[in-house]
Amino acid sequence: MNRSEHLLATAPRVAAWPHHDEHLIVDWSSRDPVQRRDLPPDPRLRLLRVEGEDRWNLCRAYNFALALARGTRLLKLDADAWPTERFDPDDPALLLPGNGPLCAFGSGAEGRKGQLLLHAELVASVGGFHELMVGYGFDDKDLQARLRRHTGHDPAVIPADWLAVIAHGDEERAGQGRASRPAGLEAARGQAAMRATRLANRLVAAHCPWGADGSGSRYREVEPGLWRLEPESLPRPPAAVAAELEHVRRMTFWGSFLVIPEVGLEAMPWSLFPPERGGRWPVRWWHRLWWHTGRRLVLLPIQALATGQALLTAGRTRSA
Dump pLDDT digits (tens) for 286-313.
999 999 999 989 888 888 888 888 888 8
**Crossing angle (nearest 10°) for helices 239-258 and 285-292:** 50
List the one residue out of 72, 48, 70 whose CA is nearest residue 61: 48
Kindly report the average pLDDT of the chain as a whole number.
Answer: 92
Q: 3-class DSSP state for residue 200?
A: helix
Split at pLDDT 50, 70, 90, the class of 314 is confident
Residue ranges matching CATH 3.90.550.10 in the chain: 4-178+211-232
What's residue 215's pLDDT? 81
List the one residue out of 228, 230, 226, 229 whose CA is nearest residue 46: 226
CA distances (Å), origin 16, targets 20, 77, 104 = 10, 15, 22
Is pLDDT at 191 greater than 80 in this prediction? yes
pTM higher than the cut 0.85: yes
Rounded to a whole number, what is the distance in angstroms from the first to the last CA of the chain? Answer: 53
| Strands ordered across the beta sheet of 226-229 | 23-28, 45-51, 226-229, 219-223
**197 near 137, Cβ under 8 Å?**
yes
Split at pLDDT 50, 70, 90, the class of 279 is confident
**156 near 103, Cβ under 8 Å?**
yes
143-162 core/surface letters (b: 16 or more CB in 10 A; e: else): bbebbeeebeeebbebbbeb
**81 near 105, Cβ under 8 Å?**
no
SS3 content of the chain, % helix, strand, coil (to 5): 45, 15, 40
- Work out the burial of residue 234: count CB atoms within 10 Å of its CB; fewer than 13 is exposed, 13-18 middle, 19 or more buried: middle
What's residue 167's pLDDT? 85
Split at pLDDT 50, 70, 90, the class of 180 is low
What CATH code would you report for 4-178+211-232?
3.90.550.10
Is pLDDT at 179 greater than 60 in this prediction? no
* Poorest-pLDDT segment among 90-94, 247-251, 307-311: 307-311
What's residue 173's pLDDT? 53
Residue 158's H or E segment, with its range, is strand 156-158
**186 near 257, Cβ under 8 Å?**
no
